[in-house]
Amino acid sequence: MELNVTAFDGLDTAGITWVDENDVTTPDTTEVPNVISSPQSPGLPMYMYAILTVYAIIFFVGGLGNIATIVAFALEPKLRVKPSDLIILALAVADAYICVIESPLTFQRKLIGSWILGYVFCRIRYIMLHACLNAGIN
Beta partners for 17? Answer: 4
Spatial CA neighbour of 128 closest among 112, 106, 108: 106
Residue 93 belongs to some domain of the structure: yes
Instruction: Look at residue 108 and tell me if it is in a domain.
Output: yes
- Does residue 105 sit within a domain? yes
Q: What pTM was estimated for this model as a whole?
A: 0.62
Query: Helix crossing, 46-57 with 103-112: angle to 10°?
Result: 170
Q: Compute the mean pLDDT over every residue in the chain, rounded to the nearest whole number.
A: 77
Domain that holds residue 109: 2-21+44-137
Our count of domains for the chain comes to 1
Alpha carbons 115 and 13: distance in angstroms, whole number = 15
Burial zone of 137 (CB within 10 Å; 0-12 exposed, 13-18 middle, 19+ buried) = exposed
Tell me the CATH number at 16: 1.20.1070.10
pLDDT tens string 25-77: 555 555 555 555 444 555 777 888 888 899 899 899 999 999 999 999 999 98
Q: Is residue 31 part of a domain?
A: no
User: Is there a domain that residue 91 lies in?
Assistant: yes
